[in-house]
Structure 1
Amino acid sequence: MQGTGRSALRAPRLATSANGVSQSIPFRQSTGYPPHRWLLQRRIERAQDLLLNSDKTLAEIARCCGFFDPSHLTRAFSQTVGSSPGLWRRSRRT
């Protein structure tokens, strides 16, 4: 995720067994989250870091964190954190 800031977080590849069953149960046991929820949490944490430590726009942050657009970031962020990214940023920067 360092460098140009264009590398978005991607879902971890899950191994499949010989019968094609996903190994998401061991993933959940080791992380405490199902794979998609784990990834969403990492994206939100990255967005929080960028909101606090950069002057990037919400659109730039959304792209950097793997969200489709600022609206997608705002919905996920608000559901996870409890406030919009803009409000969260303003309340932490003062």
Structure 2
Amino acid sequence: MSKLILQVRTKDNLLELLAASESRAWVVAADKINQITHVQIVNFDGTQMIEGIFDRNDSYRSSENKLVIKFLDGRIVNCRVQFDAQNPVRYFT
């Protein structure tokens, strides 16, 4: 299985997300869920992110059909990520 990273951009506090091992709630394509292996939750400035392993078993859809992203082995790292579009959700290998 190849690696597929789900990257999202958030205004939420990364330390709080790391403590909860989750970030909610995102519009994620249903056909991508079984392919996602890792997550990157990037702060709004694009200077830090949580990297983790996607927890497919505990992630779930909210009542608005948005995905609550659960992750394992999360850690905060410094980064330089630029979002050039309005959509805060991206996928890459």
Shorter-normalised TM-score: what interval? under 0.3
TM-score if structure 2 supplies the norm length? 0.27
Larger Rg: 1
